[in-house]
Amino acid sequence: MLFNLPPLGGDLFPISLGYIAASLASHNIESVIGEIGAVTSLTDREIAKFILNFKPAVIGLAVYQTNIRLAVQLAKLFKKCDPSIVVVIGGPQATFMPGKALAQMPAVDVIIRGEGETVLPALVNCLARQGDIAKVKGIVFRGEDGIYETEAGPLAHNLDTFPSPYQTGVFRWSDHSGAAMLMSRGCTYNCGFCYTPAAFSRTIRTHSIRRVLDDMNACVRNGIRRFFFADPSFTLDKKRVRAIMQGIIKKHWKVKIWCETRSDLVDAPLLGLMAKAGVKYMAYGLESVDEEVNKALNKRIDLRQFAETIRMTQSAGIEPEVFTLYGLSKQTRESALRTLRFLQGLGVKISCNSAGQQLFLFFGTDVFNHPRKYGVRLLKKRGPLYLSPGVDFETDWMTKGDIAFVARKYREAA
């Protein structure tokens, strides 16, 4: 059994768990995906009844910083239902979580570090034959005399080796109105606030063009016409993007697409083609208009080129969204407000991703690993090991009051 714990609800299929469920099915392992948000009408009794009826041997939880506390509480409930259930956590929060955190989560048995499509089937099969899970690569587990971590397994070179969640029947089509899609995984850049480069060793692996179009076709046949591409740099390979857009146009699909990329990875002809294919929203990472701030984050932005990209996007009929952060290294209150004014000057709506957000200290990011290097002062010295500091910090340039002031200005501008 796989549980998605959407922190804010949402109407996209839980794509990561879909990949895992499809991979489990390819190994003849039955699974079901359940979704429980932080705000849910389900009672503990109803959840327990579901568990007792399904009788899972293993329960996997997709965890993030925003839902890890809920996951820990659910794990306790699962163990009350049946102490023999093996509770496993994976996802972004688990990837770089300290192995010692397992000691503070007594109802959790295993942390998955690697890709769930390969690790979880190996773990389930090992448990079924009562094998030695120390031989399963990419996990942290609790032994009789301590906590152990196994070596990482290799990443799958070709993403097409993973069965499609959209073509294998692991989703109920009526449950969601939009589909999250992946053309690729990973990122070759090295922004200090992002965990993706470390998670995928600064590499990018891709699905074939045929696979992407076949996945979309399965969705369209079932009434899904809104697509959210989760690739960090969607247009890194313009040739592939053009082929996919041309495929969509050839099939006459009436779809709405959201994607994100870097401002230096698009041009006017490509944007025009994407708009024709149904791209309605394009998100770009700016972070700050301050050159010294972006340099400290290992991010290079040419503001004139960025502004031109926004204008090209708007001219193509695509609404631009801009990721910005405050609470950054070397960033003052005034510097952060200049970023807000820059967006307003470009006619970018201060909403959705353009509403700004405070820097978050996620596990696996360089700013989490080396906070003083970035002038970050943690406000709490202790806490559960399964939680990163999040937004509980000040910087050498901004107090909590300064950060709250900037957040308020973004809200007022929305």
CATH number of the structural domain spanning residue 40: 3.40.50.2300
- The answer on 121 and 241 residing in a single domain is no
Q: Rounded to whole angstroms, how far apart are CA atoms 211 and 222?
A: 17
CATH at 279: 3.20.20.70
- The answer on 145 and 259 residing in a single domain is no
Q: Rounded to whole angstroms, how far apart are CA atoms 221 and 175?
A: 15
Do residues 186 and 205 touch, judged by C-beta distance below 8 A? yes
Question: What are the distances in angstroms from CA 411 to CA 257, 350, 407?
Answer: 26, 8, 6
Last residue of a domain, one of 149, 168, 187: 149
- The answer on 121 and 43 residing in a single domain is yes
- The answer on 195 and 97 residing in a single domain is no
Q: Rounded to whole angstroms, how far apart are CA atoms 405 and 414?
A: 15
Q: Rounded to whole angstroms, how far apart are CA atoms 409 and 414?
A: 9
Last residue of a domain, one of 132, 149, 166: 149
Average pLDDT over residues 293-297: 94
Residue 157 lies in a domain: no
Give me the pLDDT at residue 38, please: 66
Q: Which of 21, 26, 46, 29 is nearest to 172 (CA)?
A: 21
Residue 166 lies in a domain: no
Average pLDDT over residues 127-145: 94
Residue 321 lies in a domain: yes
Tokens standing for residue 234? 């969607």
Last residue of a domain, one of 98, 131, 149: 149
Burial of 357 (0-12, 13-18, 19+ CB in 10 A): middle
Give me the pLDDT at residue 4, please: 73
- The answer on 114 and 227 residing in a single domain is no
Give me the pLDDT at residue 9, please: 42
- The answer on 181 and 145 residing in a single domain is no
What does pLDDT average to over the chain?
93
- The answer on 205 and 116 residing in a single domain is no
Confidence of residue 2 (pLDDT cuts 50, 70, 90): confident
- The answer on 306 and 246 residing in a single domain is yes
Give me the pLDDT at residue 8, please: 40
Give me the pLDDT at residue 89, please: 97
Average pLDDT over residues 96-102: 95
Average pLDDT over residues 191-217: 92
Give me the pLDDT at residue 277, please: 98
Q: Rounded to whole angstroms, how far apart are CA atoms 67 and 75?
A: 12
- The answer on 198 and 52 residing in a single domain is no
The residue segments making up the domain with residue 317 are: 177-413
Structural domain total, the chain: 2
- The answer on 224 and 135 residing in a single domain is no
Confidence of residue 126 (pLDDT cuts 50, 70, 90): very high
- The answer on 60 and 143 residing in a single domain is yes
Average pLDDT over residues 206-228: 97
Q: Which amino acid is at 131?
A: G
Residue 337 lies in a domain: yes
- The answer on 205 and 317 residing in a single domain is yes
Average pLDDT over residues 197-204: 86
Residue 172 lies in a domain: no
Confidence of residue 83 (pLDDT cuts 50, 70, 90): very high
Express as a percent the part of the chain with pLDDT over 70: 98
Q: Rounded to whole angstroms, how far apart are CA atoms 66 and 8?
A: 9
Residue 66 lies in a domain: yes
Residue 155 lies in a domain: no
Give me the pLDDT at residue 5, please: 65
